[in-house]
Every structure is written in structure tokens, then in C-alpha cells.
A and B are shown apart, each in its own frame.
Chain A
Amino acid sequence: GAGVSQSPSNKVTEKGKDVELRCDPISGHTALYWYRQSLGQGLEFLIYFQGNSAPDKSGLPSDRFSAERTGGSVSTLTIQRTQQEDSAVYLCASSSPTSWQETQYFGPGTRLLVL
């Protein structure tokens, strides 16, 4: 079946502009995660959704970052007033609620470059 998809695959923006990143999880997966990956920094957890609610937002780096999920499916990560340090690959993952080992299935990521 279809995997996790993300759009756009690449995004170049100017400092100060807002960007929206989209994630389409695997159908039936109620858990959805956003991560940020920078060179040499590993995977940085941003936010976790269970259904439409976000019980864990602890990884959002500032109030410029927000995310929502509607219909228990698609999620959007919004970065307002982008800064150069926001440049990174933004990865989305989804998982099944019955997956005790928390197997997360990742999308290909959105590569964000802030000039």
C-alpha cells in the first residue's frame, strides 16, 4: 500500500517568510510524528499526534513552530517568520496504535532552505 508522503519535497524560502509542510500518513495510522534532521544533529523530535490531539509538543523549538492534524489524517507543520537556522530536513512518520515496539514509518522528508 501507499507509504507516508510529504510535500513539498524541497522548499527554498526567504528569511522572514512563513512555510507550510504537509504530511499524509499511512491510512489507519493514528499516531503521527514530526522530526527535524540537521547535519550532525540526528533526529530531533518536534511533536506527536494521537488522532487529532497533540499530547506531546515538547520538541517544538519556539512559538514560531506549530502543527495541526485534521480528520485524524493529514498534518501540517507551519513555521512562521523563518530563520536561517530553520534550514533542515523535516521528516514525518506514522505508526499503528497496536505497534508496541513503536515501528515508525517515515516519509521522504521536506528539505527546507532558508536564505
Chain B
Amino acid sequence: QKEVEQDPGPLSVPEGAIVSLNCTYSNSAFQYFMWYRQYSRKGPELLMYTYSSGNKEDGRFTAQVDKSSKYISLFIRDSQPSDSATYLCAMTGFNAGNNRKLIWGLGTSLAVNP
């Protein structure tokens, strides 16, 4: 079992729809949770990060963490064609050498159709 599971999609929605992207994880020691967005032929860029359970809102984006269920979500309201990208979840863990490192989901490909 991978430490982080993320459905790769693809997910296709009409413009204006509410999008829900999700990741599950197995390691209860994970502390920080991040969402990165990657446009085609670009590197990933940080979209949002959260530390504790609960919601964090930034414009049309809401990140949600449920540590008890080991489940994180990213919601996009009023989705736009410019939101079409791959969304990767990432979380902070430790490797065998006790070095902190990011553990990545596979990424979900999202297409928002005009």
C-alpha cells in the first residue's frame, strides 16, 4: 500500500462546477498537508497548505484535512477553464534516516470545459 493514495482521474467537469479532489494517507505522523497545481509542461507550484484538521479557504479554493480519517480534500468553487491542470497532494513525513521529506500523491488530472 502506498503511503499516499490519489485517484489520477482524469476528471472532466463543466465550467462553474464545484470540484472535489481527494487524497488518503496511511501514516498518522504526517504533519503538513499541501496541494500543488501543475500546468502542462510546467513544474508543480504550491496552491495551499494546511497544518491542522479543519478547513482553510483561499478565494475559490478550500483545503480540508481530517486527520482522524487520514483524508484530505481540495474543493474548487465556480471552476474555470484556467483551473484545468494536474493537482498533486503532498504531505510531510520522515524517511528511514529520519530526514523530513515530502510524500507525493500521483496527481489528479482535471479538465474544466467551457
Contact = CB atoms under 8 A, between A and B. Distances in A.
Interface in A23-48: 40-43, 45, 48
Given A43-B104, A101-B32, A101-B49, A93 B43 contact: yes
B97 A55 contact: yes
Interface residues of B, number: 24
B42 interface: yes
A106 B45 CA distance: 7
Q: Is the interface of A mostly helix, strand, loop or mixed?
A: loop
A111 B102 CA distance: 23
Interface in B15-51: 32, 34, 41-46, 49, 51
Contacts of A43: 44, 88, 104, 107
Interface of A: 4, 40-43, 45, 48, 55-56, 58, 91, 93, 100-109
A43 B45 CA distance: 13
Nearest to B92: A102
A90 to B, nearest CB: 11
Nearest to B34: A101
A48 B97 CA distance: 12
Given A101-B34, A108-B42, 16 more contacts: A40-B8, A40-B106, A42-B8, A42-B106, A43-B44, A43-B104, A48-B101, A56-B95, A58-B95, A58-B97, A91-B43, A100-B32, A102-B100, A102-B102, A104-B44, A104-B46
The winner among B34, B44, B45, B49 for most chain A CB atoms within 10 A is B44
Contacts of A41: 106
Interface string B90-112: 00100111011110111100000
